[in-house]
Structure 1
Amino acid sequence: MTPLRSIIACSILVLQPVAGHAASGDWASTDHVAIRLLAAQPAPGAPLQAAIEIVLDPGWKTYWRTPGDAGIPPRFDFSGSRNAGGASVAFPAPERSDDGFSVSNVYHDRVVLPVSFADSDPSKPVRLELTANLGICADVCVPIDLAATLDVAPGAPDDGAMAAITAAHAALPGPGRAGAFEVTTLRRVGGSDKAPEFEVEVATPDPAATALFVEMPPDWYPAPPEAETASAGPARYRIAVDRKTATTPLDGAVLRLTMTSAGEAATRAFRLGADGTATPLAE
């Protein structure tokens, strides 16, 4: 059995049955990566839930929605689907990869991305058609295109798919635990409008084991966050941003911070004001 097929087999075996109706698609694969679609209707008349399952050969990685210094952001196109419009893909928190030249935000081995649809009639069959554009890397990076399909009849049983989708939703970053594990504040602390600097404060029991991931407008280029403290209590990070070629204004820009530690993940978005203040946004 090849390494990739071994990972695929394990991804199926670890799932525990739960009640519900769902379906699993066939694997679509190329060298070092495979994807498939999962879909579920948790209860009669409930909205359609779906997921994209990605498995990679050992030593290979693919990228988060915000790749970091280097990498290819994933693109997922469901426009060919029937009775499944308005697809929105969610992402669990990534890992940080530093190769000595660049710092990237990645996934290894296996990741399941939940997908929701704004427009789907639960009483009618669904056909999901996905075109995925991914970057995968080991020593070199390779752009790949894969297509996957899945037909879902109302009430089709597949407890394994239901379990995978449920686990994928549970793995998404939430608001965290108030006062114990959360992103608490974001503030601008210096720099020019073309090169502003921000400070982020987080609550975490283990600052040394905590990683912070930054998402900003696409024409802003943040450096990896630098930890300012490593003792117990609130941890602070400083983020320098290159806006020399940016057209997205500071006023009104939305910045998202995601933190991870010991298997936990929390996220919070902020909107910048004209005076440099940052207001938390309701999720």
Structure 2
Amino acid sequence: MKSPFVAAALACLTALPAAAQDRFAIPVTAQVLPGWVRDDGARVAAVQLSLEPGWKTYWRAPGDAGIPPSFDWSGSRNLHSVAITWPTPQVFDQNGMRSIGYEDELVIPLVLAPTAPGEPIRVRLDMEIGICSDICIPHSLNFDETLAGGDSKPTPAIAAALAQSPYSAQEAGVTAATCRIEPTEDGLRIEARVTAPSAGAHEVMVIEPGLGDVWVSEAQTHRTGGDVIAVSEMIHVEGGAIAVDRSAIRLTVLGSSHAIDIRGCSAG
């Protein structure tokens, strides 16, 4: 969610002219990689972000210390749907706060399904990201690109980013994923348990509720035998009741050797 402060800062930055967003004021450059066309007619493209040394940006679930990215495709043409693949992020611990994201360079693969296959796709994307060094600031990126041509040869940078995505539950050998949910005074307490081989040292689990208006606290994660266990709190941003669909909950285990993406969990 965006705090009133972040929302106000986003509005201010959006109003800045492009000429003011130079490398010194905003230490990130961005471009759309046109990619290639698959046999099914969908285009595999990407957004590429290059960050100045010492700066980082955030994953889709950035942690309490991060700013979540957002995408607005509403001005695009001949674009039926978009699927985003996130490469495995890093966990940053700084000043007692945890954030999850990327440093140096980030390539975000996109699968763009056209309304009319074989015709050019006009990508008009307004993207909001957070970038952070000693300070963290929101930043607006605006793209207007027409992607045409039928090249079927994969772009190395995009293929590499796809290869860096987390393992699926099946690929990682997950045999069970459960979520025990209990009411609290302010919302809900969730205990997620994933039975799987180790993902490496310093495992961290991220819990995403699949609900847009629910804040989830930083999960306290530990491993007991074959299980990774994480406990977190869920609170509705407007103080209302929360109706959780376990099939929509997304659990990500981040370890030093790999990450695991688990879609849905059963009752614990």
Q: TM-score range by the shorter chain?
A: 0.7 to 0.9
| Deviation, structure 1 residue 103 | 2.1
Q: Which residue of 2 aligns with 1:240?
A: 233
Matched letter for residue 123 of structure 2: L
Q: TM-score, normalised by structure 2?
A: 0.75
State the alpha-carbon separation in 2 of the partners of residues 183 and 219 from structure 1: 30
Q: Which residue of 2 aligns with 1:249?
A: 242
The partner residue of 2:188 within 180, 183, 196 is: 196
Please, which runs of 5 or more residues in structure 2 have no aligned partner? Answer: 1-20
> Could you tell me the percent identity over the aligned residues?
28
Size of the alignment, in residue pairs? Answer: 243
Q: What do the CA deviations read for 1:181-232 (whole angstroms, capped 9, x no partner)? A: 53832222655273433322231335643221121234333332223436x5
1:172 aligns to 2:165 (yes or no): yes
Q: Which residue of 2 aligns with 1:66?
A: 61
Matched letter for residue 97 of structure 1: F
| Deviation, structure 1 residue 140 | 0.7
Matched letter for residue 175 of structure 1: S
Q: TM-score, normalised by structure 1?
A: 0.72
1:80 aligns to 2:75 (yes or no): yes
The partner residue of 1:130 within 115, 125, 129 is: 125
Q: What do the CA deviations read for 1:25-67 (whole angstroms, capped 9, x no partner)? A: xxx9743111111123345663222111111112111111222
Q: Which residue of 1 aligns with 2:16?
A: none
Q: Which residue of 1 aligns with 2:262?
A: 268
Relative to 1, partners in 2 of residues 1:248 and 1:265: Cα closer, same or farther, differing over 3 Å? farther
Relative to 1, partners in 2 of residues 1:153 and 1:243: Cα closer, same or farther, differing over 3 Å? closer
Q: Is the 8 A contact 1:128 1:149 kept in 2?
A: yes
Partner of 2:198, secondary structure, is coil
The partner residue of 1:91 within 80, 83, 86 is: 86
State the alpha-carbon separation in 1 of the partners of residues 175 and 94 from structure 2: 27
State the alpha-carbon separation in 1 of the partners of residues 114 and 241 from structure 2: 31
Q: What do the CA deviations read for 1:120-162 (whole angstroms, capped 9, x no partner)? A: 43322233232222111101112212223333332358x5x62
| Deviation, structure 1 residue 257 | 0.6
Partner of 1:164, secondary structure, is helix
Q: Is the 8 A contact 1:34 1:54 kept in 2?
A: yes
Within a 5 Å distance, the mapping from 1:204-243 to structure 2 comes to 204-205=197-198, 208-216=201-209, 217-229=211-223, 232-243=225-236
Q: Which residue of 1 aligns with 2:8?
A: none
State the alpha-carbon separation in 2 of the partners of residues 81 and 245 from structure 1: 32
Partner of 2:160, secondary structure, is helix
The partner residue of 1:38 within 30, 33, 37 is: 33
1:102 aligns to 2:97 (yes or no): yes
Please, which runs of 5 or more residues in structure 1 have no aligned partner? Answer: 1-27, 279-283
Partner of 1:167, secondary structure, is helix
Partner of 2:264, secondary structure, is strand
Alignment RMSD (CA, Å): 3.1
Partner of 1:81, secondary structure, is coil
